[in-house]
Amino acid sequence: MKFTRTYTRPSTDIPFHIDSRPQSVSDFYRTDYVEPGYLTEEITYSDDGLIMTIVQNWVDNPELIMGWMNHPITVEWFRQRDQYNDQNGIIKSPARYEYTINGKAMQGVAP
């Protein structure tokens, strides 16, 4: 399953939230999801530096994804991320998702 989300900041003087992610969150993310091969992530930036795009590719395991989304470490990080973005005028787009079921491509948007 592929998730894509963009963040738009008003100025390059304002760091994106990812720049302040606590090491404990990065370690959890890396050891529990990236290193075992459940998730790959690519982060890119627009030429002007105002837009950050995060693309996550997950193994086809909805329970694993929901477990990550509802894990206390992730829930707290999302809360901190959203609060930081709100305080700094950073706009978070809805997440676009794409996946395949029985050979049929599906896509949609999640908040």
Residue ranges per domain, the chain? 2-110
CA torsion sign for 14, 17, 23, 26 is negative
So what CATH class is 2-110? alpha beta
pLDDT digits (tens, 9 = 90+) for 28-84: 999 999 999 999 999 999 999 999 999 999 998 888 988 998 999 999 999 999 999
Q: Which pTM value belongs to this model? A: 0.86
Q: Which residues of 49-59 are buried (b: 16+ CB within 10 A; e: fewer)?
A: ebbbebebebe
pLDDT at 101: 66
